[in-house]
Structure 1
Amino acid sequence: MNLHVIDTGFFKLDGGAMFGVVPKSIWETTNPADERNLCNWAMRCLLVECGDKLILIDNGIGDKQDSKFLRHYFLSGDASLKSSLNGAGFSTNDVTDMFLTHLHFDHCGGGVERKGDGFELTFPNAQYWSNADHWAWATKPNPRERASFLTENILPMQDSGHLQFLLNDSRPFEDIDFLFVSGHTEKMMIPRVRYKGRTICFMADLLPSVGHIPLPYVMAYDTRPLLTMEEKASFLKEAADNEYVLFLEHDPHNECCTVKHTEKGIRLDRTFKLSEI
């Protein structure tokens, strides 16, 4: 197995929304905001070479949205989905499986491209993986999340015939299993990859950054924040006990971290690049 970091650029979100009830005077020490109260966030994806499979986990925001939409998010950075794939020695045609932790636009927007007046899959040879409960949630969205579930990002997967649903106990990929969590959104999936004797956990929005490790640091975007706290507590204890490597999708500076037990609860242990494993 080989793992590659796929950087797709940065975007900005409101710092208060990203840290919920935690005061700015506390969270800005790890994630400083600009004059608009916006913080910079990565859209960092993971490419897994596993046997005859080339599995991409999440794919960023994409570039098909109009300027009115994109101007709210201040996209930046030199990296893009395709350039990062090319840098790893691959093209969009090589991806066999496009795994989506959930269908919010910053996690799945790069999987569909605009083609004339319609849309086509960015990865034409790939199966696109979601799960039935989350798909139903995303295609009939509640008012709170409607702006995050964009039909042009989602429905072309089904229309193309490439959509697959992961079941709770299914294992379609060797050396990868999945944790289902529902605090952020219904049935978000956290892939756990066994690699070089370690467990690499792709954290998606269960833990956006190292600044979110303390339990009360929960995003206002979460639909069930108290459930997020329960899920974080359970996961972080397991991660500290077993020295999991946490791969951080949104942390603007840190690719990976580990956590440890302290008198104040679970806290950051160390940060490092995936290539250092």
Structure 2
Amino acid sequence: MNLHIIDTGFFKLDGGAMFGVVPKTLWNKHNPADEKNLCSWAMRCMLVEDGNKLMLIDTGLGDKQDDRFFGFYDLHGDATLISSIREKGYDVTDITDVILTHLHFDHAGGAVRYKTDRSILIPTFPNATYWSNEEHWQWATNPNPREKASFLKENILPLQESGQLKFIKKGMSPFQHIDFIHVDGHTEQMMLPVISYKDQKIIYVADLLPSSFHVPLPWIMSYDVRPLLTMQEKEALLEKAADEKYILLFEHDPIYEAALVEKAEKGIKIQERGDFINFI
């Protein structure tokens, strides 16, 4: 098995929204905001090569929205989804599976692209099976008013129309070395891939823990639809990660790719954080 970080660039989101009830005097020390109160966040995907499978976890923001849409998020950085995949020696036709933790636009936007004439939307990865779960799919295609702006039909419906979409049932996995934790605090039935690599387990924590700064229990995004449930789910995952030395891989942390956590007198804390390669 080979594991690769796939960088897709950075975007900006409101610091208050990303840290919820935590005062700016605290969170601004970790991820300083600009004059608009916006902080930079990574869109970090993962590529897993396992036998004849080449699996991509999440797809970043993509490039098919208009300038007005992108202007809200101040995209920056040189990396893109496709350029980073090619940098690892692969192409879009090599991807066999795309695992979408959930269908918010910053996770699923790169799953679909325009054909050359920009009149037809098609899956970015023509030979891949795209994986979601039925409960989240129903939630995303019939969105509540709070999340409606995060579920863009152009990112979602072409996957079903192409015939490339399949669902993962809770407690099951179509992959030999990847299992899933299903959580409901951020959005309905978000899937966190748990990768068994050698004698380690790596959890791609998606938006349950968008960054290493979100390890303290009260540090929860305002975007979460059920913040108290997020806190419970986060506590359970962090307890297990500390006990079993799981590697946490962060999708949005602008500085640190991965971390280990440990138990302390006041709860779970970061033991070590840095580049993913240093942990495997």
State the TM bucket, normalised to the shorter chain: over 0.9
Q: 2:154 matched to which residue of 1?
A: 152
Alpha-carbon distance in 2 for matches of 1:189, 1:143:
22
1:186-197 map, 5 Å? 186-197=188-199
Runs of 4+ in 1 over 6 A off after TM superposition: none
Q: 2:7 matched to which residue of 1?
A: 7
Alpha-carbon distance in 1 for matches of 2:242, 2:91:
36
Query: What do the CA deviations read for 1:10-56 (whole angstroms, capped 9, x no partner)?
Result: 00000000000000000111111001000000000000001110000
Alpha-carbon distance in 2 for matches of 1:24, 1:272:
24
Q: 1:73 matched to which residue of 2?
A: 73
Measure how far apart 1:272 and its partner are: 2.4
Q: 2:267 matched to which residue of 1?
A: 265
Question: For the aligned residues, what is the CA RMSD?
Answer: 0.6
Alpha-carbon distance in 1 for matches of 2:200, 2:10:
28
Measure how far apart 1:114 and its partner are: 1.5
Structure 1's unaligned 5+ residue stretches are none
Structure 2's unaligned 5+ residue stretches are none
1:109-148 map, 5 Å? 109-115=109-115, 116-148=118-150
For normalisation by structure 1, the TM-score amounts to 0.99
For normalisation by structure 2, the TM-score amounts to 0.98
Alpha-carbon distance in 2 for matches of 1:171, 1:117:
35
Determine if the alignment matches structure 1 residue 97 to structure 2 residue 93.
Answer: no
Q: Which amino acid aligns with 1:175?
A: H
Q: 2:183 matched to which residue of 1?
A: 181
Determine if the alignment matches structure 1 residue 36 to structure 2 residue 33.
Answer: no
Alpha-carbon distance in 2 for matches of 1:241, 1:29:
29
Alpha-carbon distance in 1 for matches of 2:171, 2:237:
18
Alpha-carbon distance in 1 for matches of 2:53, 2:143:
32
Measure how far apart 1:273 and its partner are: 1.7
Report how many residues are paired. Answer: 277
Measure how far apart 1:169 and its partner are: 2.2
Determine if the alignment matches structure 1 residue 106 to structure 2 residue 110.
Answer: no
Q: Could you say what secondary structure the match of 1:189 adopts?
A: strand
Alpha-carbon distance in 2 for matches of 1:56, 1:145:
24
Alpha-carbon distance in 1 for matches of 2:13, 2:179:
30
